[in-house]
Amino acid sequence: MVDAGTPRRVHPGTMAVAFLRKAPQNVFAIPVFAGWMSGRGLDWALLIAGVAAAVALFFTWLNWRRFTYAVGPDELVVERGVFSLSRRSIPLERIQDVSIERKPLHRLFGLAEVRIETGGGDADEAVLDSVSLGEAARLRAALRGRHVAAHQAGDEATVTGPHVLPVVFAMTPGRVLLLGLFSFSLVWLAALFGIIQSLDQFVDLGWDQLRDYAGTAREQAQARFSVAAVLMVAGIAIALGVASGVVSTILRDWNFTLRAGEGRFRRTRGLLTRSEVVVAMRRVQLALVQRGPLRGWLGWNALSVQTLGGSNDPSGRQSLAPLAREDEVAQIVSMAGLPPFERLPLRSVDGGHVVRALLRTVPAPLIAIVAAAIFVTPLTLVGLVILPPLIVSALLQRRFHRFALLETSLQVMRGVIVQRDWIVPVDNVQVLTVRQGPLQRALGIASVAIDTAGAKGQGAPDVIDINLPDARELIAGLIAKLD
């Protein structure tokens, strides 16, 4: 075994994975190539294809050869680049997440992708794509400042590590299926249609013919005014939505296992792509409990934590339990060293919140519908049925938006259809902003924005529309605790 400090390359199998991964792109080049080659001989085509493959292989090899990494006593050094060279050294004590991911191609070659996250701006400061399983386990141990015996066999078991931490949460197949049913989404359906459309440009799927059929079908349907046909189409759409939700959830969350101990959580999940993520507990910035529609009413919660820096989640948060009962969530939260979410001390925001919610949600659709009714057809007035749910949701906003400043944490609850609970340790609050727009000034209210590290996009634990004395008290309380 080589000394820990010497630079090494990623596994040679990486070249095969990279080459195969690029293959689909090249398939699309075939029609172009064929068009250009028409009239020339087959041997020419083979020669050119061979040269192209050789060039691609050469560059893949060059990239592989120029990419080295080394774990020193207190830093990880990654060197890369063919023409412009880059050398990045990451102090070991700054590394906060080491995640291991295995896509289907990786599993085929017995490889794993290791991502090192430090909490800087970039999502991934260093990606080692790819190393053998044994090397991945060794790396993770070394990056945590501990060394395991280097002669680990490269089998499936080593991914979970030599000393297995106790399981604190696991999803049974039944629960994954249930989560899939809840994840009903038409987005996937739209994506599917998008793919069909884009494929249509390359391959003639007979889409126009299909459209003709659809046109005929519509005429027939209009002729008979068949309610059954409409219901059937809606039924198919819903069935596809449910199926796509189930499939995507099973692919992502199959065998979801959360282990905890030694100051870290370790999450493994995935059916085809097995991914493993380590979250250091002291890097947890805040906990977020979400209750989606339907599943929230049935008592199911989703727990995620915000960590510094990258996570594979687009939300910038790590899911620790996608579908869990309240007591399971409370157990994981206390394990993370966070105070429990308490409902009793929560205080409502100002009544002006309802006014603003109504003004934000109702006028725009109302005007659009009425305008359409006047200028297009009175039939669009049917659209007014969407207004009562909007109004009810706006009226309920205040009931579900509450906050409390406790001993060590700020707790915020917000959202009617998707309910969210935040637990923000006061020590993790970075910047406070009080903001007041013209309408808020007229109502005597203001919003308090709480900025934390590592959040991306929506979902900050902001307290919106509280009356000014409450805002001042909250700010003064937070400032007093910041030390």
Contacts with other proteins by CB under 8 A lie at 94, 119, 308, 428-438, 441, 446, 449, 451-456, 460, 468, 471-472, 475-476, 479, 482-483
Smallest separation, CB 481 to other proteins (Å): 10
What is the side-by-side strand order in the sheet with 75-80?
8-9, 68-71, 75-80, 86-91
Q: Which is nearer to other proteins, 39 or 121 (CB)?
A: 121
Q: Which is nearer to other proteins, 84 or 458 (CB)?
A: 458
Smallest separation, CB 476 to other proteins (Å): 7
Residue 449 contacts residue 378 (beta carbons within 8 Å): no
Q: Which is nearer to other proteins, 271 or 434 (CB)?
A: 434
CA nearest neighbour of 281 among 168, 148, 170: 168
Smallest separation, CB 438 to other proteins (Å): 6
Smallest separation, CB 352 to other proteins (Å): 15
Smallest separation, CB 441 to other proteins (Å): 7
Rounded Cα distance between 463 and 479, Å, is 16
The CB density around residue 383, as the number of other CB atoms within 10 Å, is 15
Q: Which is nearer to other proteins, 319 or 428 (CB)?
A: 428
Smallest separation, CB 436 to other proteins (Å): 5
Q: Which is nearer to other proteins, 273 or 315 (CB)?
A: 315
Q: At what angle do helices 363-375 and 387-400 cross, to 10 degrees?
A: 170
Smallest separation, CB 191 to other proteins (Å): 28
H-helix or E-strand containing 220?
helix 207-224
Q: Which is nearer to other proteins, 172 or 433 (CB)?
A: 433
> Would you give the distance in Å from CA 33 to the centre of its chain?
38
Rounded Cα distance between 13 and 126, Å, is 19
Smallest separation, CB 266 to other proteins (Å): 22
Q: Which is nearer to other proteins, 143 or 432 (CB)?
A: 432
Smallest separation, CB 475 to other proteins (Å): 6
Q: Which is nearer to other proteins, 235 or 437 (CB)?
A: 437
Q: Residue for token digits 């060059």?
A: 62
By the 10 Å C-beta count (0-12 exposed, 13-18 middle, 19+ buried), 436 is classed as: middle
Whether a cis peptide bond, with omega within 30° of 0, leads into 130 is: yes
Rounded Cα distance between 304 and 429, Å, is 18
Rounded Cα distance between 244 and 250, Å, is 10
Secondary structure class of 422 (helix, strand, coil): strand
Contacts of 362 by beta carbon, 8 Å cutoff, 6+ apart = 387, 390, 391, 394
CA nearest neighbour of 210 among 221, 202, 218: 218
Q: Which is nearer to other proteins, 100 or 429 (CB)?
A: 429
Q: Which is nearer to other proteins, 112 or 286 (CB)?
A: 286
Smallest separation, CB 448 to other proteins (Å): 10
* Beta bridge partners of residue 114, listed in sequence order: 100, 128
The CB density around residue 306, as the number of other CB atoms within 10 Å, is 27
